[in-house]
Amino acid sequence: MDIRIVSTQPFPDQKPGTSGLRKSVPIFQTPHYLENFVQSIFDTIGNPAGQTLVLGGDGRYYNREAIQIILKMAAANGFARVKVGYGGILSTPATSCVIRKYKTVGGIILSASHNPGGPTGDFGVKFNTDNGGPAPEKVTEAIYARSKEIREYKILDAADIDLDHLGESRLGNTVIEVIDSVQDYAALLETLFDFDRIQQLLSRSDFRMCFDAMHAVTGPYAHALLERRLGAPAGTVHNGTPLPDFGGSHPDPNLVYAHDLVEILFGENAPAFGAASDGDGDRNMILGNHFFVTPSDSLAILAANATLVPGYRDGLAGVARSMPTSQAVDRVAAKLGLDCYETPTGWKFFGNLMDAGKVTLCGEESFGTGSNHVREKDGLWAVLFWLNILAVRQQSVADIVREHWQTYGRNYYSRHDYEGIDSDRANTLITNLRAKVGHLAGQSLGRYQVEYADDFSYTDPIDGSVSTQQGVRLGFSDGSRMVFRLSGTGTQGATLRLYLESYEPDPHKQDRDPQVALADLIAIADEVAQIRSLTGMDKPTVIT
Ligand code: VG1
Ligand code: CO
């Protein structure tokens, strides 16, 4: 065996963000950059002897090259086996599924999720631990600490592995197993949903659906599940071939970046149901005929209807949402007598709650929903969950959502993103807010009375770990809220996210445009945070 020990210098910037390490492709192509980070992960895992690693990515530019490097490093580090996705493809939820099913030590997912790809786009490395979930903060901190002192890494001198044939081969003493990217995951979803009933729905002449894979990882999964297994007509899946640059767009399933799908669902002769997923397949957007379901409402509706779905027939242990996500699901939990947890942004905070059996469903406002079937958010899972509900209730998406509002009230919700802000200005804005919040409680802002104002801090109820400075939030006496935080997934400048929410119990007032319903709060947010003057931008770059 030709193990090479390569001397290297640490890079100072390998601190994982909300979800993995994300940098531009040219940075990842800098000699030793990827290798240093991967060796830091392996050193943190400890003793790889006898262990299995799962490896795959979303197919973006540099995916295949990075996989070859990581396979040779895994072999040089002494892993017994690596399960790698066919063609280098594994979605984030599928990776989580494979880690859990085969009880492996963890997995590496090559993805920058919703960030654009291509030679000058973004690349990323996420590490998931043996429960199948994103590494918790204590692990990402350890990886980062290791990356700051690393002096060498190990790699095997060997030929590339053929990723386009299923089956086993060897790199040194390590077995490399190219696995079907879809099979294990599809088999798991089949245990949760009523596939027969969904199949009947999809065969009805008056029900058409359309799924936009955005040229990202879910193409092969959606073709296999929706068209081949569940019988949706060929052509139901749009943009189903993963491309290294996602066809030049953001693989981000929201009203702005999934505009082709939005045009179809809001056009003439629109289908009954539409959905899209992101780069690595963990997010989802749900649309009805001329209707958009906010991700926060989607979580609440899945929770309220869970017992209609075989995998959740016996009810939920509890639910959880990230702090900026609307409180719609809290109302469902209250009515059903379920515990409801509020965590910081990022899926890594849900893992402990799920492992401890405290929650079954989790969600984020950023188009992420999931359950304890894996330890990731899961785009196609959410699509099948909705299809299962539609098949049972035989109502339109819009009717289901409106009925939900009548029962629970409507949480008007919107997120305003200000992208590409100068980092210093963004930090000033947040620093100013932090200084201000201590004095805001009890004050009136317009017609709103501030009930509490703080910088969100979370104590994990299972392991007691504390995460501070997770977003400045203002809560008002009528239940309205606003939250300010900086994105932890961007690679250029800073992105300010402003989250806005107000509650409307009156069914006659539930059909307003959210931007109109939230207009006063939007104005107050600008006044409190001086967004326009500090960013120099007069409106957000993305509104969802
Ligand atoms: C964003 C979202 C967050 C999500 C994260 C990863 O983070 O707001 O809810 O968990 O992306 O999503 P931020 O720090 O930019 O707000 V993904 O689909 O990477 O894995
Ligand atoms: Co993603």
- CATH 3.30.310.50: does it fit domain 410-543? yes
Integer Rg of the chain from CA:
23
What CATH number belongs to 185-408?
3.40.120.10
The mean of the pLDDT values for the chain is 96
Residues forming CATH 3.40.120.10 domain(s) in the chain: 3-181, 185-408
Please state the atom number of ligand 1 nearest to the C-alpha of residue 497.
16
Residues forming CATH 3.30.310.50 domain(s) in the chain: 410-543
Q: Which residues are catalytic?
A: 113
Task: Evaluate if residue 18 carries a pLDDT over 90.
Answer: no
Please state the atom number of ligand 1 nearest to the C-alpha of residue 278.
18
> Residues 71-88: what's their mean pLDDT?
98
Best of 18, 96, 137, 257 to mutate for ligand 1, by most ligand atoms within 8 A of CB? 18
Q: What would the pLDDT profile of 94-120 be if each residue is shown by its tens digit?
A: 999 999 999 999 999 999 999 999 999
**Contact (CB, 8 A) for 407 and 497:** no
Q: Which residue's CA is the closest to the ligand 1 atom numbered 20?
A: 113
Is the pTM value of this prediction over 0.85? yes
Cα dihedral value 537, 514, 483, 252, nearest 10: -70
**Contact (CB, 8 A) for 300 and 338:** no
H or E segment to which residue 89 belongs: strand 81-89
Of 355, 325, 348, nearest in space to 340 by CA: 325
Q: Which residue's CA is the closest to the ligand 1 atom numbered 18?
A: 113
Q: What would the pLDDT profile of 189-210 be if each residue is shown by its tens digit?
A: 999 999 999 999 999 999 999 9
Share of the chain above pLDDT 70, in %: 100
CATH number for 3-181 (one of 3.40.50.720, 3.40.50.170, 3.40.120.10, 3.10.640.10): it is 3.40.120.10
Which residues' Cβ are closer than 6 Å to ligand 1?
Answer: 18-19, 113-114, 278, 282-283, 322, 345-347, 364, 366, 368, 487-489, 497
Neighbouring CB atoms inside 10 A of 82's CB total 26
